[in-house]
């Protein structure tokens, strides 16, 4: 790490921007959004900044990333489903040429552009088929191809925290290299990916501080996405804390959210998922407690990394004029890693000692270590998303609602005495590009590298963050795997594939318990019409593809 001293006070006043995206974290998984998990650094940002309780993502990893990076909906950016090429430009699995990334736009406006963490918008990188990898090709664009001056991280969507594949580092000027051999798989004993993402981010910030230009850092953690991997000292802080079970946890978080002012006290908790057994009926309570403890430890370690980034900014005198935005790419993940499931074929890992990693939720194994590969499963995800319905993949609130924390002492008024400002306006990851360009004083381009760029879809929420009156002008739309939704003002139209439409008045019923469609058919019909126009414009295809 290079040494440096804080820049002088004459530095241009355009803010640095740190955009933090975490992976598969539920709505109530951090302290300032109702959790028992220790997240003091995120809590500090919330206390001295602003929280939005009605921020949304795109229900899945790479669609959210595509939308966040481009200010377009996922299909418009080329990632209408996942990273596999499905034969049309809306589903090609990597960022399209007729979109511009936030890094490309900010770099053209004089910003240094940095990224540390997970990419996952550049085509498939299956760990078992490295012969298919083509980093930097037209169908496998990397961050360095899409506007970032500097990158450290992984190209694939999920993997071991101790021995991940596709770990690479490089600069746009000098090129890139895999960290370890052809496949970039870490073989050292003491590596932990969350720590590496944080440390590299701090290095990048310190180096960027040597220059007069402000910087944009995209900090994309893989935590707390499966597998359940955490350091023993972090797990120890939580082991035993979840023996009361997921039912008690859902209820406790719901009550805490109401007490914090994040949720309206009249909103009842969503009914228990029929696929989530009562805790009293569940087997292996000690093993289940440990699974949730590992998950909590992953979030704890991520928060520690955020704290390191905050401390670096403070040391360099840049904390006051840095806009920090924090959110999750989807709701808590109910995906089961079965003992004999698909993950066994996709993730053939070995530890640094050459021992095979046992993939799946195997009850005779202790989760957390490098030789395991587990998920925390549906009942715990149900608690993570308290008080909402459903999970990652779906576009009911449990799949798309995310915390949003914004912190910028020089630009956002704070109210720490009351625990921080809280706002309740519908916003979406599609708005983040417009917001960042707004605060940076950078225009959205009409073309990039000779290609006409699609008009931006998102709206700047900077006025809302500054405490000004702001109301969304256009609806928010969703489609993922046939799950569909429209949100405008207090109304939301939503359907779970292959089911029928439902209509909810979100001011009265954000937990989506009582559909009002039969009593408001004109409103529903209008939203359906708007959805169909949007779906046609964005080239949404019928599911299954």
CB burial readout 140-168, b (16+ within 10 A) else e: bbbbbbbbbbbbbbbbbbbbbbbbbbbbb
Contacts of 6 (CB under 8 A, 6+ apart): 209, 315, 316, 317, 318
Query: For the chain, what percent of residues have pLDDT higher than 90?
Result: 88
Q: Tell me the pLDDT band of 11, cut-offs 50, 70 and 90.
A: very low
**Backbone phi, then psi, for 349, in 5-degree steps?**
-90, 160
Task: Count CA atoms within 13 Å of residue 344 on its CB side.
Answer: 8
Contact 76, 59 (CB under 8 A): no
Q: What is the mean pLDDT of the chain?
A: 95
Of 5-14, 103-112, 142-151, 397-406, the range with the lowest mean pLDDT is 5-14
Contact 402, 349 (CB under 8 A): no
How far, CA to CA in Å, does 117 sit from each of 136, 161, 196, 222?
A: 17, 12, 9, 7
8-state DSSP, 448 = E
- Give me the domains of the chain, ranges plus CATH numbers: 27-537 (3.40.720.10)
State pLDDT tens for residues 158-215.
Answer: 999 998 888 999 999 999 988 766 666 777 778 999 999 999 999 999 999 999 999 9
**Which among 18, 34, 38, 16 is positioned nearest to 26, based on CA atoms?**
34
Q: Tell me the pLDDT band of 334, cut-offs 50, 70 and 90.
A: very high
pLDDT of residue 7: 43
pLDDT of residue 195: 98
Contact 114, 19 (CB under 8 A): no
Six token digits for residue 322: 């840095």
Query: For the chain, what percent of residues have pLDDT higher than 70?
Result: 96
Q: What is the mean pLDDT of residues 513-527?
A: 99
Q: Tell me the pLDDT band of 130, cut-offs 50, 70 and 90.
A: confident
pLDDT of residue 242: 99
User: Is residue 267's pLDDT more than 60?
Assistant: yes
Contact 58, 67 (CB under 8 A): yes
366 or 6: which leads in pLDDT: 366
pLDDT of residue 17: 99
User: Is residue 2's pLDDT more than 80?
Assistant: no
State pLDDT tens for residues 375-397.
Answer: 999 999 999 999 999 999 999 99
Instruction: Write the DSSP assignment of 35-60 as a string of letters.
Output: -SS--HHHHHHHHTSEEEEEEE--SS
Q: What is the mean pLDDT of residues 328-334?
A: 99
Contact 424, 263 (CB under 8 A): no
Is the entire prediction scored with pTM above 0.85? yes
13 or 445: which leads in pLDDT: 445
pLDDT of residue 188: 76
**Which among 131, 129, 163 is positioned nearest to 355, based on CA atoms?**
163
Q: What is the mean pLDDT of residues 326-354?
A: 84
Q: Is 430 left (phi over 0), alpha (psi -120 to 50) or beta?
A: alpha
pLDDT of residue 9: 45
186 or 372: which leads in pLDDT: 372
The angle that helices 193-208 and 285-315 make with each other, rounded to 10 degrees, is 10
Six token digits for residue 244: 């009361």
Contact 113, 18 (CB under 8 A): no
Contact 293, 241 (CB under 8 A): yes
Q: What is the mean pLDDT of residues 20-34?
A: 99
248 or 125: which leads in pLDDT: 248
Q: Tell me the pLDDT band of 350, cut-offs 50, 70 and 90.
A: confident
Contact 390, 331 (CB under 8 A): yes
User: Is residue 530's pLDDT more than 90?
Assistant: yes
Contacts of 287 (CB under 8 A, 6+ apart): 363, 366, 367
**Highest mean predicted confidence (pLDDT) among 11-15, 130-134, 290-294:** 290-294
User: Is residue 225's pLDDT more than 90?
Assistant: yes
């Amino acid at each position: 790490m290079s040494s440096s001293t804080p820049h002088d006070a004459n530095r241009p006043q355009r803010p640095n921007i740190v955009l933090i995206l975490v992976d598969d974290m539920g709505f109530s998984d951090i302290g300032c959004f109702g959790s028992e998990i220790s997240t003091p650094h995120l809590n500090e940002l919330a206390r001295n900044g602003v929280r939005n309780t009605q921020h949304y993502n795109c229900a899945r990893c790479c669609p959210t990333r595509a939308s966040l990076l481009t200010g377009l909906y996922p299909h418009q950016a080329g990632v209408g489903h996942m990273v596999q090429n499905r034969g049309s430009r809306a589903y090609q699995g990597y960022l399209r040429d007729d979109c511009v990334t936030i890094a490309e736009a900010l770099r053209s406006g004089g910003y240094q552009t940095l990224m540390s963490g997970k990419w996952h918008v550049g085509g498939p990188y299956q760990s078992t088929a490295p012969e298919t990898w083509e980093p930097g090709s037209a169908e496998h664009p990397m961050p360095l191809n899409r506007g970032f001056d500097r990158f450290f991280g992984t190209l694939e969507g999920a993997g071991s925290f101790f021995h991940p594949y596709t770990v690479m580092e490089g600069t746009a000027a000098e090129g890139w290299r895999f960290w370890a051999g052809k496949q970039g798989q870490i073989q050292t004993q003491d590596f932990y990916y969350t720590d590496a993402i944080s440390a590299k981010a701090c290095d990048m910030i310190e180096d960027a501080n040597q220059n007069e230009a402000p910087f944009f850092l995209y900090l994309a953690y893989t935590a707390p996405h499966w597998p359940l991997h955490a350091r023993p000292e972090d797990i120890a802080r939580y082991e035993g804390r979840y023996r009361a079970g997921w039912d008690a946890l859902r209820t406790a978080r719901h009550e805490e959210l109401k007490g914090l002012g994040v949720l309206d006290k009249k909103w009842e908790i969503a009914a228990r998922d029929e696929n989530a057994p009562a805790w009293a009926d569940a087997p292996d309570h000690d093993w289940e407690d440990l699974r949730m403890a590992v998950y909590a430890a992953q979030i704890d370690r991520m928060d520690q990394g955020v704290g390191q980034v905050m401390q670096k900014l403070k040391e360099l005198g840049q904390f006051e004029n840095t806009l920090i935005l924090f959110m999750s790419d989807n709701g808590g993940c109910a995906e089961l890693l079965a003992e004999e499931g698909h993950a066994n074929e996709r993730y053939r890992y070995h530890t640094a000692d050459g021992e095979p990693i046992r993939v799946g939720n195997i009850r005779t194994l202790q989760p957390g270590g490098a030789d395991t590969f587990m998920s925390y499963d549906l009942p715990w995800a149900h608690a993570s998303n308290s008080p909402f319905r459903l999970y990652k993949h779906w576009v009911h609130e449990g799949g798309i609602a995310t915390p949003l924390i914004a912190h910028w002492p020089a630009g956002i008024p704070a109210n720490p005495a009351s625990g921080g400002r809280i706002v309740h306006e519908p916003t979406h990851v599609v708005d983040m590009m417009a917001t960042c360009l707004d605060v940076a004083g950078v225009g959205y381009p009409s073309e990039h590298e000779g290609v006409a760029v699609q008009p931006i879809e998102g709206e700047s929420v900077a006025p809302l963050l500054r405490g000004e009156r702001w109301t969304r002008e256009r609806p928010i739309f969703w489609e993922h795997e046939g799950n569909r939704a429209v949100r405008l003002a207090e109304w939301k139209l939503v359907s779970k594939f292959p089911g029928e439409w439902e209509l909810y008045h979100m001011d009265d019923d954000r937990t989506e318990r009582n559909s009002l469609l039969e009593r408001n058919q004109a409103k529903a019909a209008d939203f359906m019409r708007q959805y169909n126009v949007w779906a046609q414009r964005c080239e949404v295809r019928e599911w299954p593809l």
